[in-house]
Each structure stands twice: as C-alpha cells, then as structure tokens.
Chain A
Amino acid sequence: MNASFELQRVGLQKWLLFWLLFLFPMLSSSSLFGASGEVQPRITVRVIPDSVLVGDRIRCLITVYHSQKEVAALEGFDRSDSLASHSFELIRRKHSSSFPSSGSGSEEFELELAVFGRGQQPLPPFTVVFRDLQGMVTKRVPYTSSASLFVRVLTDSSMRELRPLKPPLKPSIPSLLMMSVIAGVFGVAGMVLLLLFLLKRTVRNSAERVDSGQVAQRKLRKLGSSLSAGMPPHECYEELSNIMRSFLENHYRISALEAVTQEIERDLKKIGVAGFESIMNLLKQADLVKFADCHPDVEESRQSLKKASEVIRSTRVPKSDG
C-alpha cells in the first residue's frame, strides 16, 4: 500500500516538473502572439534630453515591434505643418530594422528635432503604418506619446545661465591688399634706415673735418683769458685736465675722459704718440692739484697752459706734413 502510494507521489512530481520546465514557457511565450499566432504591434518612444533651451536639438527614438511578415513606417513627422504646430522641426531621421526572434521584428526610428516654443512641450502625435510583404497597407496605428520635454527660453527669469554666442565672423581682408600693405611698410622702413645711414655718415664726415687740435687750442686760449680774469689756479688745472683728455680721446681715439691717468699712460704708450712725456707731465700735474691738495700759483698755471698748447701743436705737425 505504502509502495503504490510512493509510486503515485513520484509520478505526480515528474508531471509537475514537466509542466514547469517545458509547457509553462511555451504558454507564456504564446501570450505575445494573438489568437491567430500573429505578433501584436508595440511602440516605445524615448526623448533625449528631456529639458532643453529654445532652438536646441533633441533625439527622439521610436521603436516599433511587429511580426516578421510586416514592415512599419512612420507618418506625421514628414509634414512640416503638423510639426510646426507642435513647435518641432525635423532636422534628420534614421531608420534601422532588426529581427530579434523568430516570427517577430522591430523597426527603430531615430529623429533629430529642433525645438521651439516654451514650457512643457508634448511630442507630436504620429501614425505607424504597417504594410505586408507585397507593400499593401495592412493597418494604421495612430499613436500619441506620453513623452514630453521642457523648453527654456533665453528671457526666462528662471534661467541661470546664458548660451554661449558665436562671435561674429570677421570680414576677411583680401590677401592682395595685405601684401601691398606689408610691402609698403617694409618700403617705408627701408627708406627711413637709408636716410638714417646717410645722415650718420654725413655727421661723421663733418665731425672728422673738425680738428680736435683746433678745438683744444681754442679752449686753451679761452682758459688763459679766464685765468687772467681771476680764475683760481686749481680750477684752471681741472679744466686743463679735461681739455687734454678730450683732445686725446678725439685725436687718438682712446677712452680718456673716463680713464685715470695711468690708463691713459698705458694707452698712449701702446700707440707711441709724439710728446708722450709732456702729455703725461701735464696730466700728472693736474692730478696733483686735484687729488694731492697742491696749490699752484698763477704763473705755474700759465706755464702749464703754454706747455699744453705746444704739445697739441706738436701732435698736429706730423699729421699735416704727412
């Protein structure tokens, strides 16, 4: 008795397992199909993003599931009047088909829309047209999507940011005009440089014509007059030192005005000038007055001026002879 009951229990369990593993999935999958075995059409709509600024673009993804014996198409987005009334403008559309499982297929429509208007904007209604494989319309399914998006306008007081505006395009300058302007600038610059060069050469030539010896002699004569007029002898020696240095700098092209006596001595030795000893004596005498608290009298100052004049004259003689 117990054994037959056990056999019945095992048989019931097997029957239940058969129902769970095999028959139930078959029945549940058949619920997608109609009573006649046809696939019921299904439409999904997705909008990205759901909040935009006026004039922005959105992507609208519409997916239509249907039977493999049909093809689907969209109506309603092609008519600009219909879209304009709903503040949308179709920019671009893409269409792709796929057959995910036997007996069923799907169409995906990707629409790029420009959005206008303001506030909450519902997506415009559209119609899905199904055709059989011969191209005959089998059914039309009007569809109003519950998807919507929010459109913000630039003047909206709730706005916190402005859209970056594109800078206005600069008017392009014709390359020919540019070339001529550049050539003109270079031409003017060249002319200025040429003028400067000519001016410098003229000044140098005129400076060379001025005899440094003559200038020094004139200054010495003036200094002698000042001494006679009561100039203190130590000031006379300072001026004499300046005149001699200036003469040496211009005549022998050495840096004498900013040099100390020993530096001048070295430079003159290198050149081998005439009257070297006399020049150095004069400079050293001036140094004694300037730095060693020496007090020359007027007669000594006159003698030094005379000696300086002779030295300058002696340096000029060989030049004029040569």
Chain B
Amino acid sequence: MQHAVELEELGEQITEASRFIEHAQEQLSQRIIGQHEVIRRIFIAMLVNGHILLEGVPGLAKTLIIRTFASAMNLKFQRIQFTPDMLPADLIGTMIYNPKDMEFYPRKGPVFANVILADEINRSPAKVQSALLEAMQEHQVTIGNQTFPLQEPFMVLATQNPIEHEGTYILPEAQVDRFMMKILVDYPSYDEELEIMLQSATTASKLPVIPVVQLHDISRARALIDRIYVDPRVQRYIVDLVVATRKPGKYGMANLEAMIEYGASPRASIFLLLAAKAHAFLQHRAYITPEDVKVIAYDTLRHRIRPGYEAEADNIKPDDIIRQILQHVQVP
C-alpha cells in the first residue's frame, strides 16, 4: 500500500524527533509513580503551546510532576503560590527606582520562566488572575511602559482545589477557556500508592533529575506537529463534536438540550485539533485518527461546557455530557 510520499517521510521524522519525549518520560518515571495520563497530557500541551488547569485534592504530586517535568525538559521553573493579598506586580514585576542613576528600572516577576506552576490560582483576586491569563494569551508582559516577550516555550500549569471554595475567586468562563486542557488528577491505584509509600518514606536524598531535552528539540517537534496530516473527515468530526455541545438536538441528543447552558467555544475546535495532532505525534504517526480526538476530548471540552440547571439538579457532570456526545456523534 502506497502512503503519500510526504506523509511517509514525515512519519520517519516524527519517530526520530519524538525520542526526546521518551527520554524525558524515563526521567519522570524515576520520580513519579503512576499519573501516566496526567504526564502524557502535560507533554501534549507543551508540544502545542497550550496551558493546563489541574484540578485535584492536595497531595497528589501535582507540584512534583511539574517540577520534575521542567527539570527533565531543561526548562526554567517557577512556582507561584497565589494568595488573596497578591498584586499583579508580584507576578509580572514592577519598576524599581535606582537613586544612584535617578532612574526607574524594571524588575521582572516570577512569570519570566518557561514553566509556571500557578498554585491555587483561585485564591487570588481577579486582577492577579487576569495578569497571568493575559501573559498566557499574549506571551508578553508590560512593566511600566516597556513590553517584554516571555521566554519560549512558555507554559502555565495552574492548580485548583475542588473541595475548598471558602475564600476563593472562581475563574470566570472566559478565562478558563484560555486553558487548553483541564485535567482531573485522581488518586493513585492501590499498588501505585504502595509503591509511592515505599519509595518516599526514606530520609535518603532523591536521585537528581537529569535534563535530557534541548530547546531545539521542542522547536523541531512543534514544526513537525504543524505538518501532521488531518483528513477532512477528521476535521469535520472535530467540528461535529464541538457543535454537538452547542446544538445536541441536531445530533439526535434532544435530552441534552436542557442539560447544557453554554456549549464549547471555537477555541475548543482549535485546541482539540492541536491536542489531537500532539497525541498523534506521541504515537509516532504523521496523521490523525478519530481515536486521537476521542482520547483528548474530555480534557479539552470539560471546562468549556457549562451544565444547565437540570444537569446540576440531576448531578450530571460535563464528563457525562461529553461521554454521551462521543457516543452519538458519528465517527468517520
């Protein structure tokens, strides 16, 4: 069977270029037990310039995963603990007066890093959240009257605690939409927990994480991902999935009409395609299959669907709605 020559070559290049991911994953697996899907999605987001919202109860190694990921990828890491008294200047930086020169100099904030862990992003007020989300969108920060581009790759991983809402500032829908994926971090399995316990309950210092990735590896991977082939059937499938969240009745899911208050935005289609491409890249493929779309559909759509009153009354979560949509929308 003859592949299109271009795709065949691209497939070989992808196999070659994606090796750095395997090396980084090896480093991560030395420190992190389980959470394979979370790690895979972090790689997907990093490959297509996306940001991630992590939701999970405390103690699930969210910070450890991100710190280890940044170390293995040889990226500058900054952890910012969001608090109610935080100011935008604490994040992006401010102008400092130098009495010697009698001039103001910009002091860059912690946002000037490659991987930002915005811990408990919903603890800080809206203006701080906006400052970060603006940096995420524009990839640049303005201090005083000077604009500074952020370092590439720039990736924000924000965490939220789903069980504590006292004294928090819930992220508005428009801001949540800027995150490529919302990942639900779950508890490890029994065996994983046993392994975590035995490995962590020691006073001995941990093995250092070896940086195994160069910046040009990431740039090369991104360039290859842009060339991944997307068949028109898969393109239509992605749009069908997103439109089905807005008009489920059109796809034979009239029961969902009252369940969804707002469907996913066009950003969902863009991120769904990008994430599917990155997923195909991780599978060493030069083309996308509907499987790539289905696998990342939950993480890409769950924060973009707002359940209606009836859904809340029946305790129907966005994941239940997405499951039904995936079952009903015809796969090409």
Chain A residues within 8 Å of B, Cβ to Cβ: 258-263, 285, 287-297, 300
Q: Which residues of A contact B17 (CB under 8 A)?
A: none
Task: State A93–B229 Cα separation when bound (angstroms).
Answer: 103
How near does chain B come to A297, taking the closest CB pair, in angstroms?
A: 8
- Which residue of B is nearest A260, CB measured? B291
Count of interface residues, chain B, beta-carbon cutoff 8 Å: 22
Interface string of B272-290 (1 = CB under 8 A from A): 0000000000000111111
Structural contact, A292 and B331, CB atoms closer than 8 A:
no
How near does chain B come to A266, taking the closest CB pair, in angstroms?
A: 11
B330 contacts the other chain (CB 8 A): yes
Structural contact, A293 and B331, CB atoms closer than 8 A:
no
How near does chain A come to B286, taking the closest CB pair, in angstroms?
A: 7
Q: Which residues of B contact A262 (CB under 8 A)?
A: 289, 291
How near does chain B come to A308, taking the closest CB pair, in angstroms?
A: 15
B22 contacts the other chain (CB 8 A): no
**Contact status of A291 and B287, CB under 8 A, knowing A260-B294, A296-B2, A300-B1:** yes
19 additional A-B residue pairs with CB within 8 Å, beyond A261-B291, A300-B1: A258-B327, A258-B331, A260-B290, A262-B289, A285-B1, A287-B289, A288-B3, A290-B332, A291-B231, A291-B234, A291-B288, A292-B3, A292-B286, A293-B7, A294-B2, A295-B2, A296-B1, A296-B2, A297-B2
Please name the 4 residue pairs, one residue from A and one from B, whose CB atoms are nearest each other, closest first: A292-B287, A260-B291, A262-B291, A293-B4
B250 contacts the other chain (CB 8 A): no
Q: Which residues of A contact B233 (CB under 8 A)?
A: 290-291
- Which residue of A is nearest B229, CB measured? A293
Q: Which residues of B contact A263 (CB under 8 A)?
A: 291, 294
Structural contact, B291 and A293, CB atoms closer than 8 A:
no
**Contact status of A293 and B330, CB under 8 A, knowing A260-B291, A261-B291:** no
Task: State A290–B234 Cα separation when bound (angstroms).
Answer: 9
Q: Which residues of B contact A261 (CB under 8 A)?
A: 289, 291
Task: State A174–B64 Cα separation when bound (angstroms).
Answer: 80
How near does chain B come to A236, taking the closest CB pair, in angstroms?
A: 12
- Which residue of A is nearest B285, CB measured? A292
Task: State A262–B2 Cα separation when bound (angstroms).
Answer: 23
**Contact status of A293 and B1, CB under 8 A, knowing A260-B290, A261-B289:** no
How near does chain B come to A16, taking the closest CB pair, in angstroms?
A: 91
Structural contact, B1 and A288, CB atoms closer than 8 A:
yes
Interface set, chain B 1-59, CB cutoff 8 A to A: 1-4, 7
Task: State A194–B289 Cα separation when bound (angstroms).
Answer: 47
Task: State A295–B285 Cα separation when bound (angstroms).
Answer: 17
Interface set, chain B 202-219, CB cutoff 8 A to A: none
Of residues A259, A261, A292, which shows the largest number of chain B Cβ atoms within 10 Å of its Cβ? A292
